[in-house]
Amino acid sequence: MKRTVLSGLSLTAIFLITGLLLPKWLQFLCTMAAANGVVSLGIVLLMRGGVVSFGQGLVFAGGGYAAALLSNKLGVTDALLLTAAGGAAAVLMAAPFAALLARYRGIFFAMLTLALSMVLYGVLVKTDALGGSDGFNMHRPTLLGMRIADAWSGYALYAIAVCVCGLLGTAARVYFDSARGLVSLAVRENELRVEYLGASVARVMAANFILAAFLGGAGGALAIMALGHIEPNFSYWTTSGEFVFVAILAGHYSVLAAFAASFLLELVRSFSSSYFPNTWQMALGIFLLVVIRFFPRGLGSLLKK
Amino acid sequence: MNVLKATRLNKHFDGVVAAEAVSIDIAAGERVGLIGSNGAGKTTFVNMITGYLKPDAGAIEFDGTDIAALGPREIMRLGVARSFQVPQLCAEMRVIDNMIVAAACGGEALSFWRPAQTDGARARAVQLLERFALAGHAGRRVAELPGGVRKLLDIAMALTRRPRLLLLDEPTSGVSVEEKFPMMDTVMAGIEGEAAGEAGEAGSAGTAVLFVEHDMEIVMRYASRVVAFYSGRILADGAPAAVLADADVRRHVTGGLK
Amino acid sequence: MALGLTLVFGVLKILNIAHGSFYAVGAYAAASFVGWFAAAGLPPWTSIVALLLASVAVAALLAPLVERGLLRVFYGRDEVLLVLVTYALFLILEDATKLLWGANPYFVSAPYALFGNVQVGAQSYVGYDFALIAVAVACGLGVWWGLNRTRTGKVVLAVIHSAEIASSMGVNVSRVYTFAFMFGIFLAALGGALTAPMISVQPGLSVSVVIVSFAVVIIGGLGSIEGAAAGALIVGLARALAVHTWPPAELFSIYLAMAVVLVFRPEGLFQRVKARRI
């Protein structure tokens, strides 16, 4: 475990330093990749237990809106605080459903999570106080009490995102290597046996759901701080679909792979909107098929070898 | 003191009598063979003991604790373990990981951060694998293993928490004739080894073993006691030779008498 | 639409996210066909034929391609994995339609005016809407009859029940799969084609429609024909109810119903598939 923490710290440091050298557009790309990567990491966590959530948008939007509201309405502007708050809000949203969802598998789990995220979407679109389908903008966050100068805002957000990712990524790795993490993998393989060995599968799955929610919410808060704007689309099924895409691409073995996959998606997304606006989704689709066919355990499985 | 005390268990499904007035006392360290044709009630009995089914009437006590109303998970934690006729394993994981999972599941609350692969956990897993002559397979994925090895692993996993009562569900089913005796030898040796290694554990007279079997040779060789089931009732209960010679048993279970 | 989705699920056990894409393709194809017919100088009533032809064309061309070329590769794998495959397909078709037809909206007006207006009490309704309902009912009945009363239908039912057993009894399961998929896609395309006159056909069609059909199918029960009908009815009613009593609920009422059904009766109202839960 010490090794994990050390590598987490060093990677964070490396990214922080290289970030200073990157052009602004790449900094922003990485920031978004990091934020979205955290959300997809939540799905990876769930996948280790054998279920795929098609409704991560629920907690993504939940965390985002919570952060935005705290910032705009209650004047809480510290970026780190908002990230934590986003995660906490998401956990509050997900907690009532955790015990219920812990009993579902396969398509039904996917559909129920999808339905929940779409309910939120419907609510958000019709809630004019929250800006309806246009959403609303968010005030600029501060960092540790200091206002962030315009010239530094890109790097500041990048640094915040990298630090949060380093922290959450390391925590995730520790969790994956823990007893619970291993038993989650066992549940994915043979939950009957796990029950007969004395562990509560339902409790493991519920805990996983809540942890995934925290990741989704924290990522949502980060994303909205980077974008400056939030809208109901954060909870739409196509958004959830993209997180699933990244999670599948990454596979369920490696935390790093989740961020790498997220970066890949952001790269493709930003390049294509300039050069191939009409074919990038097709490219993604084909790419996904290739991954499913030839690397069903995700790219992370390559790292494992 | 009895490890297991089942008293007048009754169970029926829509008019089919799966168990009627079944009473059995098992002492620590006994080796009991459960025989009977399919549908005779052996599996129902095992399922009631392991908490998968609740008896309609009667009582089940394990080490003095009433377990009739408990579920499989609680019963497992009290010290009962079972193996499965079709080995229930985590196919994509390695043998040693399966063993570590087995140890973790039956232990205290699962940790969110303490590593699963500690030296202690691995050592314990290897120790148990050695008793079952499986140590050589430790690093291999279960999916790659042959059937006989899987059966052994299934049983080894059940023994991880040193249960007081072990139920083996048709341990030699699907095992070839040449392999079945060596396999059962290994199984029994593994169980004995565990009991012997259990120095200092209170009241360790060894694990009581109940095994459901259709193979009478196995039953004769490894059981110190045989219980024969028929139509949900116990037909005979006693020393293997006596039970297998019993006229009713021969008529309804082993064949040979029309 | 839902009928096709539930059929594909029942037979192939695939929940097809791309179903909406076929709907969109159907709509676009319909737009094209109607355009061609009009350009050829054919009278307005033939636009109905154009719609039908469009759906058939889509099914005949795309379905075998997709089923054989793509889905077949992944048969037997985890059901969620197949859903992901259809998600990839959805992504591909999204752009494919954009490439073929461009991003501007199409308007297929000709058929809409064909049936004139119908007076019911004080309200005036467009005849086309009624015709659409009639077609939906006819399709539902047709499929039900086809499955339960014809020999081919019984074979399909056998495959739905257990592909393995059916195959051991000599049924050419892969042909049934192809046929079922083609028919399911035909229904999707038909849905799109028939709806085309009522809306503007533009990118983004598939996205909203597929989720609603998911809701319909989940509520009614995956794989059940009666369920698809019941589900569609319930969804329609829920939406109408919401619009009348509490407008803000319009959008999420459908998904709320879907969630409620999943919680209390995951198999849907007309059980066909056992819900995978513990």
ipTM: 0.85
**What residues of A are in the B interface, CB distance below 8 Å?**
1, 174-175, 177-183, 185-186, 189-190, 192-200, 204, 207
Closest CB to B101 among A1, A177, A183: A183
Radius of gyration of the CA atoms of chain A, in A: 19
Q: Which of residues 162-201 of A touch C (CB under 8 A)?
A: 191, 201
CATH superfamily, region B80-162+179-205: P-loop containing nucleotide triphosphate hydrolases (3.40.50.300)
Is B110's CB within 8 Å of A195's CB? no
Judge whether A52 and C80 are in contact, CB under 8 Å: yes
Closest CB to A197 among B76, B93, B97: B76
Res B202 pLDDT > 50: no
Q: What is the largest CA-CA distance in chain A?
A: 59
- In this prediction, residue B88 carries a pLDDT of 92
Look up tokens 């057993």; give the residue. C165
Every domain range in chain B assigned CATH 3.40.50.300: 1-70+207-258, 80-162+179-205
Distance CA A162, CA A226 (A): 12
Judge whether C58 and C29 are in contact, CB under 8 Å: yes
Is A189's CB within 8 Å of B117's CB? no
- Which CATH architecture describes the domain B1-70+207-258? 3-Layer(aba) Sandwich (3.40)
C173-195 vs C46-69: helix crossing angle, rounded to 10: 140
Residues of chain C with pLDDT under 50: 278
Judge whether C263 and A112 are in contact, CB under 8 Å: yes
Q: Residue B34: in which H helix or E strand, if any?
A: strand B31-35
Contacts (Cβ under 8 Å, ≥6 apart) of C107:
C31, C200, C201
* Closest residue in C to A297 (Cα–Cα): C81
Whether chains B and C touch (3+ CB pairs under 8 A) is answered by no
Whether chains A and B touch (3+ CB pairs under 8 A) is answered by yes
Q: Residue B5: in which H helix or E strand, if any?
A: strand B2-13
Contacts (Cβ under 8 Å, ≥6 apart) of A292:
A248, C74, C81, C84, C85, C88
Structural domain containing residue A9:
2-237
Secondary structure letter of residue A78 according to DSSP: B
- In this prediction, residue A305 carries a pLDDT of 46
Q: Which of C145, C151, C114 is nearest to C129 (CA)?
A: C114
User: Two tokens at A88?
Assistant: 């906490």
In A94-153, DSSP assigns E strands to 136-137
Evaluate whether residue A109 is within a structural domain. Answer: yes
Phi, psi of B145 (to 5 degrees): -85, 150
Q: Residue A109: in which H helix or E strand, if any?
A: helix A106-126
Closest CB to B92 among A175, A183, A189: A189
Distance CA B200, CA A130 (A): 66
Residues in chain A with CB shorter than 8 Å from the CB of B107 are 179, 198
Min Cα distance B115 → chain A (Å) is: 4
Look up tokens 């083996």; give the residue. B168
Residues in chain A with CB shorter than 8 Å from the CB of C252 are 118-123, 126
Q: Which of residues 46-105 of C touch A (CB under 8 A)?
A: 70, 73-74, 78-81, 83-85, 87-92, 94-96, 98-99, 103
- Other Cβ atoms closer than 10 A to B203: 9
Secondary structure letter of residue A198 according to DSSP: T
- Mean pLDDT of the residues in chain B: 86
- In this prediction, residue C44 carries a pLDDT of 66
Report the half-sphere exposure of B163 (CA within 13 A, side-chain side): 32
Residues of chain A with pLDDT under 70: 145, 299-305
For chain B, percent of residues with pLDDT exceeding 90:
17
* % helix, strand, coil for chain A, step of 5: 80, 5, 15
As a whole number of Å, the end-to-end CA separation of chain C is 31
Evaluate whether residue A53 is within a structural domain. Answer: yes
Q: pTM here?
A: 0.87
Q: Which of C95, C206, C208 to mutate to test the interface with A (most CBs of A within 10 A)?
A: C95
Query: Between A and B, how many CB-CB pairs are < 8 A?
Result: 95
Closest CB to B101 among A178, A186, A195: A186
Is A195's CB within 8 Å of B73's CB? yes
Residues in chain B with CB shorter than 8 Å from the CB of A185 are 90, 93, 97, 101
Residue C123: helix, strand or coil by DSSP? strand
CA A52 remoteness from chain centre = 13
Cα dihedral sign for A122, A128, A130, A132? positive
- In this prediction, residue C233 carries a pLDDT of 77
- CA C206 to each of CA C20, C23, C39, C151, C188: distance values in angstroms, whole numbers, following the listed order: 4, 7, 27, 34, 11
Residue C70: helix, strand or coil by DSSP? coil
Specify the pairing of strand B31-35 against strand B225-230: parallel
Evaluate whether residue A82 is within a structural domain. Answer: yes
Judge whether C209 and C196 are in contact, CB under 8 Å: no
* Closest residue in C to A123 (Cα–Cα): C252
Q: What's the number of domains chain A is made of?
A: 1
Burial of B91 (0-12, 13-18, 19+ CB in 10 A): middle
Residues in chain B with CB shorter than 8 Å from the CB of A195 are 72-73
Judge whether C184 and C53 are in contact, CB under 8 Å: no
Q: Which pLDDT band, with edges at 50, 70 and 90, does B200 fall under?
A: very low
Residues in chain C with CB shorter than 8 Å from the CB of A110 are 80, 83
Specify the pairing of strand B208-212 against strand B31-35: parallel
Burial of C133 (0-12, 13-18, 19+ CB in 10 A): exposed
Q: Residue B3: in which H helix or E strand, if any?
A: strand B2-13
Distance CA B139, CA B187 (A): 21
Is A177's CB within 8 Å of B116's CB? yes
Distance CA C20, CA C8 (A): 13
Determine the average pLDDT of the residues in B180-203. Answer: 75
Min Cα distance A216 → chain C (Å) is: 20
Q: Which of C71, C86, C91 to mutate to test the interface with A (most CBs of A within 10 A)?
A: C91
Burial of C45 (0-12, 13-18, 19+ CB in 10 A): exposed
- CA A130 to each of CA A51, A68, A77, A239: distance values in angstroms, whole numbers, following the listed order: 32, 10, 18, 19
DSSP conformation letters of B169-234: ESTTTT--HHHHHHHHHHHHHHHHHHHHH-TT-TT-S--EEEEE-S-HHHHHHH-SEEEEEETTEE
Residues in chain A with CB shorter than 8 Å from the CB of C214 are 111, 114
